[in-house]
Amino acid sequence: MPIDTKELMKHVRRIKVVTAKLVDEHIFGEYHSVFKGRGMEFDEVREYVPGDDVRSIDWNVTARMGHPYVKRFCEERELTIIFLVDISGSMIFGSGLRSKAEVAAELTSLLALSAIKNQDKVGMILFSDRIERYIPPRKGRTAAMRLVREVLAAEETRRETNLGAALQFLNKVQKRRAVVFLISDFLATGYEKELRVMARHHDLIACPISDPREQSLPNIGLLEVLNPETGDLMMVDTSSRRLLKSFQAQAAAEELARDKQFQRLKVDRLALTTDRPFVDDVRRLFHLRQHRMHRG
């Protein structure tokens, strides 16, 4: 059953208050320094003053005016930020206070508010095994909070995940280079080709969200488990040490294979879990990118 409007707005207000404070106190300065515009654009010409770089002299204007003029450039800051957000059935899961869908909404809010404060455009694609909603990039705080509402309102979508189709769709609708945050639990297969194309055309940042219970199960005897994407029920004996070891080994192997794929394609990774705050993880990512920019 979808979340009711009153409950939805309560979620949105809470996330807005929390993330707006984080943006102002912790994130915005780092966001601003990490996500640069596309380069420099011409602004105006002005008279030469001692100390100006002679390479910036505009010789055509200088010849016409009879004394030196220089070209002035300013940084073209505006970026397009796209949030590609998984709202498949598995995103509903959360063994603690927050579901993976709520973490996705909080992360979207934090980054979208930073982008809007930086005068960037924000847009979003919600997907499951199909494209559920496409919101073209727009400027303004209203645009940012709409993205949060949409993620939360779709929290209980009961569908499977098709990452490849979502990546393909974004490549079709977003022709110009964008910064893309791919927010998902990555419980899908067969999307490496589309991920490779996406990484080549856009600045792609993968944001895998997990829950501790997806890595290990508690020993509580027989446990009935529901697959939220298919509706299948199965009984699991969590007292079986062999089963628990097998479960942990498979989860670890899948995570390792996914992270190696990101490394191979040179895709940045921002890994989040439902049981702890993520602002330090975001800052670590920003510092990593900053270090790489200065080194390059």
Residue 42, SS3? strand
Considering the domain boundaries, does residue 123 fall inside one? yes
Q: Residue 204 and residue 266: Cα distance in Å, rounded?
A: 9
Q: What is the pLDDT of residues 195-207, one digit of tens each?
A: 999 999 999 999 9
DSSP 50-90: TTS-GGGB-HHHHHHHSS-EEEEEEEE---EEEEEEE-SGG
Read off the pLDDT band of 1 (50, 70, 90): very low
**Together in a domain, 164 and 181:** yes
Considering the domain boundaries, does residue 20 fall inside one? yes
Share above pLDDT 70 across residues of the chain, in percent, rounded to a whole number: 85
Domain region containing 125: 5-35+77-210+269-295
Q: Which tokens hold the place of 266?
A: 């040179």
Considering the domain boundaries, does residue 89 fall inside one? yes
Q: What is the pLDDT of residues 160-187, one digit of tens each?
A: 889 999 999 999 999 889 999 999 999 9
**Together in a domain, 97 and 129:** yes
Q: pTM for this structure?
A: 0.79
**Together in a domain, 28 and 155:** yes
Q: What is the C-alpha radius of gyration for the chain, rounded to an integer number of angstroms?
A: 23
**Together in a domain, 57 and 104:** no
**Together in a domain, 126 and 193:** yes
**Together in a domain, 157 and 286:** yes
**Together in a domain, 127 and 157:** yes
What type of residue sits at position 134?
Y
Tally of CB atoms within 10 A around 106: 24
H/E segment holding residue 295: helix 279-295
Residue 3 has pLDDT above 60, yes or no: no
**Together in a domain, 137 and 277:** yes
Total tally of structural domains belonging to the chain? 2
**Together in a domain, 154 and 18:** yes
Q: At what angle do helices 100-117 and 5-22 cross, to 10 degrees?
A: 50
**Together in a domain, 165 and 199:** yes
The DSSP call for residue 234 is E
**Together in a domain, 145 and 177:** yes
